[in-house]
Structure 1
Amino acid sequence: MIRRPRLSTTGAFAPLRATAFRAMWIAALASQVGTWMETVGAQWILLAHPHAAVTTALIQTATTLPVLFLALPGGALADVFDRRRLLIGIQSVQAGTAGTIAALAFFDLLNPIELLVLTFALGCGAALTVAPYQALIPELVPRQELPSASALGSLSVNLARAVGPAIAGLLVARLGPGYVFALNAASFAAFAVVMASLPRKAPAAETRPEAFLAAVRAGERYVRFSPEMRRILLRIALFITPAVALWALLPVLAAHRLGLGPTGYGLLLAAVGAGSIGGAFLLPWVRSVLTPNRSYAVCAAVYAAVLAALALTRSPALAAAALVPAGAAWIVVLSNSNAAVQLFLPGWVRARGLSAYQFVFSGSQALAAAAWGVAADRLGVPGPLLFAVVLLVLALISGRWWPYMDTVPLDRSTKVHWPEPHLLIEPEEAEGPVVVLLRYRVAEDRQAGFVRAMHRVREARLRTGALQWGVFRSGEDPGAMVEIYTVASWEEHRRQHDERLTAADYDDELAAQSYAEGEPEVTHLLSATPNVSGSP
Structure 2
Amino acid sequence: MSTSPAASAPQPQATLATPFTYAVFRAIWIASVVSNIGTWMQNVAGVWLVTTLTTSALLVALMQTATSLPSFLLSMPAGAIGDLVDRRKLLLVTQGFMGVVAFGLGALTLLGEISALGVLAFTFLLGIGAALNAPIWQTVTTELVPRPVLPFAITLNGVSNNIARAMGPAIGGVIIAYYSPGWVFLLNGISFVATWLVVYRWRRPAEISSGPAENFIGALRAGMRYVQYSPAIYAVLVRTFGFSFGASAMWALLSVVTARRLHLSSGSYGVLLSWLGAGAITGALLMGRAGHRLNFNQRVLLGTLVFVGTNVALALVPSEYGLFPVMFLSGIAWLMVMTSFSTTVQLHVPKWVQARVVSMYMLVFQAGLSVGSIVWGELADRVSLQTALLGAAGWMLLSMTLALPFPMRQPEGLDLTPAENWPDPAVEGEAIDPDDGPVVVMIEYQVPAADQPAFRQAVERLTRLRLRDGALRAGVFTDVARPEQITEFFYVATWGEHQRQHHRFTREDQAVEAQVRQFHTNSEPPRVTHFLAFPRTPNVEVATPFETMEGQQ
For 1:156, which of 151, 156, 160 is the aligned residue? 160
Q: Secondary structure at the match of 2:427?
A: coil
For 1:525, which of 526, 531, 535 is the aligned residue? 531
Say if 2:250 is the partner of 1:246.
Answer: yes
- The 5 Å alignment of 1:409-428 reads 409-425=413-429, 426-428=431-433
Partner residue in 1 for 2:498 = 493
Partner residue in 2 for 1:444 = 449
Q: 1:122 to 1:313 in 2, by over 3 A?
A: farther
Deviations 1:199-249 (A, max 9, x none): 132112556542222222211211111111000111111111111222223
For 2:88, which of 75, 84, 91 is the aligned residue? 84
Partner Cα distance (1:184, 1:256) in 2: 33
Contact 1:173 1:263 in 2 (8 A): no
Q: 1:178 to 1:237 in 2, by over 3 A?
A: same
Partner Cα distance (1:59, 1:406) in 2: 39
Deviation at 1:134, TM superposition (A): 2.0
The amino acid that maps onto 1:495 is R
Partner Cα distance (2:373, 2:103) in 1: 26
Partner residue in 2 for 1:349 = 353
Deviation at 1:80, TM superposition (A): 1.1
Deviations 1:266-319 (A, max 9, x none): 333222111110000111344322222222111111122122222234533333
Deviation at 1:473, TM superposition (A): 0.7
Partner Cα distance (1:434, 1:8) in 2: 49
The amino acid that maps onto 1:181 is F
Partner residue in 2 for 1:93 = 97
Q: Secondary structure at the match of 1:12?
A: coil
Say if 2:412 is the partner of 1:385.
Answer: no
Partner residue in 1 for 2:476 = 471
Deviation at 1:490, TM superposition (A): 1.2
Deviation at 1:45, TM superposition (A): 5.7
Contact 1:57 1:369 in 2 (8 A): no
For 2:516, which of 512, 518, 528 is the aligned residue? 512
The amino acid that maps onto 1:278 is T
The amino acid that maps onto 2:481 is E
| Aligned residues: CA RMSD | 2.7
Deviations 1:369-391 (A, max 9, x none): 34444444555543322222111
Question: Could you list the runs of 5+ residues in structure 2 that have no partner in the other structure?
Answer: 1-10, 538-553
Identity fraction in percent: 37
Deviation at 1:522, TM superposition (A): 0.4
Deviations 1:473-532 (A, max 9, x none): 1122211111111112111111211x200111111111112222242100000111289x
Length-normalised TM-score, structure 1: 0.90
Deviations 1:392-437 (A, max 9, x none): 1112232233221222222111102223312224322221111101
Deviation at 1:56, TM superposition (A): 6.8
The amino acid that maps onto 1:145 is V
Partner residue in 2 for 1:434 = 439
For 2:405, which of 392, 401, 404 is the aligned residue? 401
Using CA pairs under 8 Å that are at least 6 residues apart, name the structure with larger relative contact order, 1 or 2.
Answer: 1
Partner residue in 2 for 1:484 = 489
Partner Cα distance (2:272, 2:182) in 1: 22
The amino acid that maps onto 1:437 is M
Partner residue in 2 for 1:72 = 76
Say if 2:345 is the partner of 1:332.
Answer: no
Q: Secondary structure at the match of 2:367?
A: helix
- The 5 Å alignment of 1:94-493 reads 94-103=98-107, 105-106=109-110, 107=112, 109-111=114-116, 114-175=118-179, 177-204=181-208, 206=210, 209-313=213-317, 315-379=319-383, 381-425=385-429, 426-493=431-498
Partner residue in 2 for 1:534 = none
Deviation at 1:454, TM superposition (A): 0.9
Contact 1:65 1:367 in 2 (8 A): no
Partner Cα distance (2:208, 2:436) in 1: 25
Deviation at 1:50, TM superposition (A): 7.9
Deviations 1:312-345 (A, max 9, x none): 3453333333211111101111111111111111
Q: Secondary structure at the match of 1:481?
A: strand
The amino acid that maps onto 1:474 is D
Question: Could you list the runs of 5+ residues in structure 1 that have no partner in the other structure?
Answer: 1-6, 532-536
Greater CA deviation, 394-403 or 312-321? 312-321
Partner Cα distance (2:378, 2:459) in 1: 49
Contact 2:74 2:128 in 1 (8 A): yes
Partner Cα distance (1:466, 1:82) in 2: 26
The amino acid that maps onto 2:526 is P
Partner residue in 2 for 1:4 = none
Partner Cα distance (2:314, 2:369) in 1: 19
Contact 1:172 1:262 in 2 (8 A): no
Contact 1:13 1:152 in 2 (8 A): no
Contact 2:45 2:172 in 1 (8 A): yes
Partner residue in 1 for 2:543 = none
Contact 2:50 2:119 in 1 (8 A): no
Partner Cα distance (2:126, 2:316) in 1: 35
Partner Cα distance (1:197, 1:42) in 2: 31
Greater CA deviation, 173-182 or 437-446? 173-182
Contact 1:8 1:144 in 2 (8 A): no
Deviation at 1:168, TM superposition (A): 2.7
Tell me how many residue pairs correspond in the alignment.
522
